[in-house]
């Protein structure tokens, strides 16, 4: 599941998806790319905001977007991560982040874990955009997140 859908800003029903997976003994894969750094306690994402991050087997995120650098991560059981390493052809032929980018990403993560100011400003900007679009009668898809998709 993609917690915040990149094209229209909807938030996935993560609790319901988690419940279905539990009932059927299924693994879960959560894409928090458009949520990390921007939502939840310490910027940990939508699942953390809803208190259900531990319900997901694998969580993927990015160091771009909310953290402003480049690269990404995948977190989960060691066996799953090792399988991804072994069978992801594109991963095998890439190199690690340069030290300067890794340091920048680490600094951004540390900062956003301790600061709410950026998340508050992001939400304030999104609400302003939603209000201005509504006032002008310009339709948009969702007001749940910072992603504002205007219908043209």
Say whether 65 is catalytic.
Answer: yes
| pLDDT tens-digit map of 110-134 | 999 999 999 999 999 999 999 999 9
Residue 5 — pLDDT band, cuts 50, 70, 90? Answer: very high
Residue 11: what pLDDT? 95
In three-state form (DSSP H/G/I as H, E/B as E, the rest C), the secondary structure along the chain is: CECECCCCCCECCHHHHHHHHHHHCCCCEEECCCCCCCCCHHHCCHHHHCCCHHHCCEEEEECCHHHCCCCEEEECCHHHHHHHHHHCHHHHCCCCCCHHHHHHHHHHHHHHHHCCHHHHHHHHHHHHHHHHHHHCCCCECCCCCCCCCECC
| pLDDT tens-digit map of 53-101 | 999 999 999 999 999 999 889 999 999 999 888 887 776 666 778 899 9
Residue 84: what pLDDT? 85
6, 57, 65, 84: the catalytic one is 65
Residue 86: what pLDDT? 82
């Amino acid at each position: 599941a993609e917690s915040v859908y990149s094209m229209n800003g909807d938030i996935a029903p993560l609790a319901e998806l988690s419940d279905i997976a539990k009932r059927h003994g299924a693994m879960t894969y959560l894409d928090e790319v458009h949520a990390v750094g921007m939502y939840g306690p310490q910027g940990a994402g939508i699942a953390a905001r809803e208190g259900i991050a531990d319900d997901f087997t694998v969580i993927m995120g990015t160091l771009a977007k909310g953290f402003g650098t480049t690269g990404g991560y995948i977190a989960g059981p060691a066996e799953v991560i090792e399988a991804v390493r072994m069978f992801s052809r594109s991963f095998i032929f890439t190199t690690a982040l340069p030290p300067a980018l890794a340091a920048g990403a680490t600094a951004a993560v540390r900062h956003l874990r301790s600061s709410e100011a950026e998340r508050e400003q992001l939400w304030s900007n999104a609400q302003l955009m939603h209000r201005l679009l509504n006032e002008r009668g310009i339709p948009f898809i969702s007001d749940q997140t910072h992603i504002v998709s205007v219908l043209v």
